[in-house]
């Protein structure tokens, strides 16, 4: 057998599906086998493989064993002369695997091979070729010298920036996203070191290959897409800690005691430095808007009130100190809280949400004002003036934020639609448009780009040879490749040819319900799926939380009367307090163990969307459909209706509120399979 492909998967079902499509397209006339080792995913990955790729040799782990252990499970039973370790968030060309196998056949000393990788926007990924991270190389990398002088043979050694990325080279370290390994070499040097949970095992294995007298190659004659960062968020503190811990394990294993100590010291300094910078920046960014909002709004009152005092009463300092110390801050906090509830503290904000938040806050303040004693009622006019100033302040702060922290806060009118064009046949383009429609994406379909020179159709914008001009003239934001109609090699070639264009790229796998893409190595891929869970959107979560609090407090106040009309009064109070503190929600979606439609985390619900319906013999399919409808098009009014309809069930126990009587009213990612007695199960 020529090649055994091993893919370790963890909760990236849609990327895995696209990856497998590309792999099988690349395996023509190659004797092969494909393994997927799933590390206890809960997004329906395993079921997807069984349904769509039954030929895959699937190993299902009941725990997340890490990258090294999972790969080794498959390598031990693999039969190929070459082993390809491949990330699930990759996309290979039709001739990638043949070219790699041929190259290794022609170079018997090639122990390992990596390829040229680009991100989802067509940009070259520098980690495609790396050198051994010795203490001095690590020093240049950690303290930024490699970034300042990427082409330098001395300072830019980490990513070997001085080597031509379009030519083949001998290198030291292969990238774990695509590692083609000679099986006889693995038999000689051993498999991946399982002391590494994630990160570092590729460096360790690459180094052992070189120490055994073999060569590692960077192979530039083929290119793959690596979306990068789908299973891990590379900007997170946890990533920094895990990565540098792996580097310390590597240093202690391969370097002298002295060098290992130096390396460990550098790593620890880097961890503390990166962690301090990351935490500080996160705190500053998260507090920037609310703190400045409060200061700007307060300053407005501070300067406005004296003018109002002089105009209204003829003197200054008319209002007592309590007005400035307590009343004004209370106004500001109410406005800010309502702005938050309407989405004014998200990265992308609309002008409308600020207006709604302030106006709603002003109405609430005026209602409270009417209930206050005369001694605490100062001026309705100042509330109205403060409302206007609050709107001005919030907009000013957002503009300052967008200047200082570029990209952290952006204004979104909500009216501009994302302009999208498809590349492929008419039938596939229509299927993709259907996915986008159901995904509730705010988009405008511009038209289709043909794969042939002359094709007559009403929505044809031109052909692929006119790509850059089409993007510019039609102001296209995104291009969606229909991979059913266009070869992977052509997709990559087109991406590279227009890599400087402003448009982003997405890929629609055949017979799939997803459209996948990623715009940089630091961002997770955008994923448009039919089963978009609008309930998980920030604004809906806030609305739902507000409803839970208001209805919870109302029910608590009315409970002395309501207790006579419901079952399980003790459980009612337990449920009530769980909802008020935010552990539960009144209404939550429930799923059967194989119904893996949503992969977001939602709170457990006291009630289900189908609770209280008089017809008790609802079919499983109907229950699932009701869950989908509830979660996909969430409205607070739906919660109100379900709560009133199921009022007598508010005291029920949550031990059996799933579709089939199990507790699957979902807070965790759903679709977790039942535990097995064995550690893993392989389906071939």
pLDDT, residue 186, reads: 94
In whole angstroms, what is the distance from residue 441 CA to residue 506 CA? 14
pLDDT, residue 145, reads: 80
> Considering only CA atoms, which of 637, 620, 640 is closest in space to residue 628?
620
Under a CB-based contact definition with an 8 Å cutoff, are residues 308 and 379 in contact? yes
Asked if the model's pLDDT at residue 563 lies above 80, the reply is no
In whole angstroms, what is the distance from residue 233 CA to residue 211 CA? 32
In whole angstroms, what is the distance from residue 57 CA to residue 78 CA? 10
- Total count of residues recorded for the chain: 684
Asked if the model's pLDDT at residue 669 lies above 50, the reply is no
Q: What digits encode the pLDDT tens for the residues 71-81? A: 999 999 999 99
In whole angstroms, what is the distance from residue 355 CA to residue 79 CA? 65
Q: What is the average pLDDT across 141-161?
A: 81
**Residue 389 banded pLDDT, cuts 50, 70, 90:** very high
Asked if the model's pLDDT at residue 108 lies above 90, the reply is yes
**Residue 230 banded pLDDT, cuts 50, 70, 90:** very low
> Considering only CA atoms, which of 354, 61, 4 is closest in space to residue 191?
4
Q: What digits encode the pLDDT tens for the residues 277-301? A: 767 877 888 888 899 999 999 999 9
> Which residue has tokens 């206007």?
388
Q: What is the average pLDDT across 532-537?
A: 55
Asked if the model's pLDDT at residue 453 lies above 70, the reply is yes
Query: What is the pTM assigned to this prediction?
Result: 0.61
The two tokens of residue 654 are: 């949550």
**Residue 233 banded pLDDT, cuts 50, 70, 90:** very low
CB-count exposure of residue 667 (10 Å: 0-12, 13-18, 19+): middle
Phi-psi sector, 40: left (phi>0), alpha (psi -120 to 50), beta: left
215, containing H or E segment: strand 215-226
Identify the residue with better confidence: 565 or 120: 120
pLDDT, residue 399, reads: 87
For each of the domains in the chain, give its residue range(s) and CATH number, in order of start.
3-129+165-231 (3.90.550.10), 283-411 (no CATH), 418-530 (3.40.50.720), 535-649 (no CATH)
Q: Are strands 478-482 and 504-508 parallel, antiparallel or unpaired?
A: parallel
Asked if the model's pLDDT at residue 591 lies above 80, the reply is no
> Considering only CA atoms, which of 81, 56, 86, 82 is closest in space to residue 71?
86
In whole angstroms, what is the distance from residue 671 CA to residue 24 CA? 27
In whole angstroms, what is the distance from residue 117 CA to residue 175 CA? 9
Share of the chain above pLDDT 70, in %: 77
Q: What digits encode the pLDDT tens for the residues 411-424? A: 665 567 888 999 98
Asked if the model's pLDDT at residue 638 lies above 50, the reply is yes
pLDDT, residue 254, reads: 64
**Residue 659 banded pLDDT, cuts 50, 70, 90:** very low
Give the chain's mean pLDDT.
Answer: 80
**Per-residue b or e along 322-346, where b marks 16 or more CB atoms closer than 10 Å to that residue's CB:** ebeeebbeebbebbbebbbbbbbbb
Under a CB-based contact definition with an 8 Å cutoff, are residues 122 and 498 in contact? yes
Under a CB-based contact definition with an 8 Å cutoff, are residues 249 and 207 in contact? no
In whole angstroms, what is the distance from residue 615 CA to residue 548 CA? 27
Under a CB-based contact definition with an 8 Å cutoff, are residues 339 and 391 in contact? no
């Amino acid at each position: 057998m020529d090649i055994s492909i091993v893919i370790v998967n963890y909760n990236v079902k849609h990327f895995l599906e696209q990856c497998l499509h590309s792999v099988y397209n690349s395996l023509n006339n190659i004797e092969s086998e494909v393994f997927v080792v799933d590390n206890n995913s809960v997004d329906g990955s395993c079921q997807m493989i069984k349904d769509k790729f039954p030929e895959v040799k699937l190993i299902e782990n009941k725990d997340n064993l890490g990258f090294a252990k999972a790969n080794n499970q498959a390598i031990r039973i693999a039969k190929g002369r070459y082993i390809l370790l491949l990330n699930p968030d990759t996309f290979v060309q039709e001739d990638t695997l043949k070219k790699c196998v041929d190259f290794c056949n022609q170079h018997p000393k090639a122990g390992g091979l990596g390829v040229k990788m680009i991100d989802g926007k067509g940009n070259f990924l520098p980690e495609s070729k790396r050198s051994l991270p010795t203490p001095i190389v690590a020093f240049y990398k950690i303290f930024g010298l490699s970034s300042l002088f990427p082409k330098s043979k001395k300072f830019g050694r980490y990513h070997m920036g001085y080597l031509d990325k379009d030519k083949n080279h001998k290198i030291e370290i292969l990238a774990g996203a695509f590692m083609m390994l000679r099986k006889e070499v693995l038999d000689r040097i051993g498999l991946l070191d399982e002391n590494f949970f994630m990160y570092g095992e590729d460096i360790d294995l690459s180094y052992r290959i070189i120490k055994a007298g073999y060569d590692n190659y960077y192979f530039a004659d083929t290119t793959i897409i690596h979306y990068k960062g789908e299973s891990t968020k590379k900007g997170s503190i946890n990533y920094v800690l895990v990565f540098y811990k792996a580097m310390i394990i590597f240093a202690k294993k391969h370097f002298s005691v002295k060098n290992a100590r130096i390396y460990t010291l550098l790593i620890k300094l880097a961890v503390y430095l990166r962690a301090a910078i990351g935490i500080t920046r996160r705190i500053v960014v998260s507090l920037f808007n609310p703190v400045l909002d409060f200061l700007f709004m307060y300053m407005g009152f501070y300067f406005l009130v004296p003018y109002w005092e002089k105009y209204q009463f003829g003197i200054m300092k008319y209002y007592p100190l309590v007005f400035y110390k307590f009343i004004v801050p209370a106004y500001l906090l109410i406005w800010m809280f309502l702005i938050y509830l309407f989405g004014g503290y998200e990265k992308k904000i609309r002008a409308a949400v600020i207006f709604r938040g302030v106006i709603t806050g002003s109405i609430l303040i005026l209602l409270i004002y009417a209930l206050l004693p005369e001694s605490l009622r100062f001026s309705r006019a100042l509330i109205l003036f403060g409302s206007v100033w609050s709107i001005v302040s919030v907009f000013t702060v957002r503009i300052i934020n967008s200047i200082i922290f570029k990209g952290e806060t952006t204004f979104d009118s909500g009216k501009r639609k994302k302009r999208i064009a498809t590349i492929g046949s008419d039938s596939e383009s229509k299927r993709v448009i259907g996915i986008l429609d159901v995904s509730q994406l705010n988009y405008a379909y511009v038209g289709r780009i043909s794969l042939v020179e002359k094709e007559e159709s009403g929505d044809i914008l031109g052909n692929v040879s006119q790509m850059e001009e089409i993007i510019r003239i039609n102001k296209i934001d995104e291009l969606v490749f229909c991979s059913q109609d266009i070869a992977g090699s052509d997709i990559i070639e087109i991406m590279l040819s227009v890599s400087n264009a402003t448009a982003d790229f997405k890929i629609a796998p055949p017979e799939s319900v997803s459209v996948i893409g990623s715009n940089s190595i630091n961002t997770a891929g955008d994923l448009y799926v039919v089963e978009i869970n609008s309930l998980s959107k920030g604004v809906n979560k806030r609305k739902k939380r507000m409803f839970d609090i208001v209805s919870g407090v109302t029910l608590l106040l009315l409970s002395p009367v309501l207790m006579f009309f419901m079952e399980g009064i003790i459980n009612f109070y337990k449920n009530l307090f769980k909802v008020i503190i935010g552990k539960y929600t009144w209404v939550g979606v429930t799923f059967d163990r194989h119904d893996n439609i949503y992969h977001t985390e939602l709170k457990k619900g006291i009630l289900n969307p189908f609770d209280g319906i008089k017809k008790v013999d609802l079919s499983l399919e109907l229950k699932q459909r009701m869950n989908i409808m509830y979660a996909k098009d969430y409205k607070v009014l739906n919660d109100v209706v379900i709560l009133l309809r199921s009022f007598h069930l508010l005291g029920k126990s949550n031990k059996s509120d799933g579709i089939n009587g199990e507790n699957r009213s979902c807070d965790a990612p759903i679709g977790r399979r039942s535990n097995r007695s064995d550690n893993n199960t392989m389906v071939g």
